[in-house]
Amino acid sequence: MDTIIGLLSDFGQFIRPWMGDIATAMVACLLVVFGADINRLLRGQLSGTNFILRTAVFILINAFGFGFLIVSAAPWLSRQLSHLPDVWLVGVVVTTFVFIGTWAQRHRQV
């Protein structure tokens, strides 16, 4: 058991310098998976409205809204993850990506 914990700790130390990139990837993956649902909700709410208004809302939400979310949520997530011990960091990162992948698979996005 000590060998496994040692390996997890070593791997946690190995990925720690890239925590910002890992957090950005997590947020981007979540947006890719849930972006279709968000756009479907917007389409339903904006059906029957003017083409220009629908296009403007689409641009605001997808370009600026998702971009702002990545730029603001990724550093916050990186700071939160950096507080975790190395052993837990590996588990949280792997579990998060497995969860996102499983969610995407179940909703036929993969």
Structure confidence at residue 68 (pLDDT): 93
Structure confidence at residue 89 (pLDDT): 94
Report the alpha-carbon distance of residue 104 to residue 83 in Å, rounded: 28
Structure confidence at residue 38 (pLDDT): 87
Structure confidence at residue 34 (pLDDT): 87
Structure confidence at residue 43 (pLDDT): 87
User: Which residue numbers in the chain have pLDDT < 50?
Assistant: none
Nearest Cα residue to 80 out of 57, 58, 56, 96: 96
Structure confidence at residue 36 (pLDDT): 83
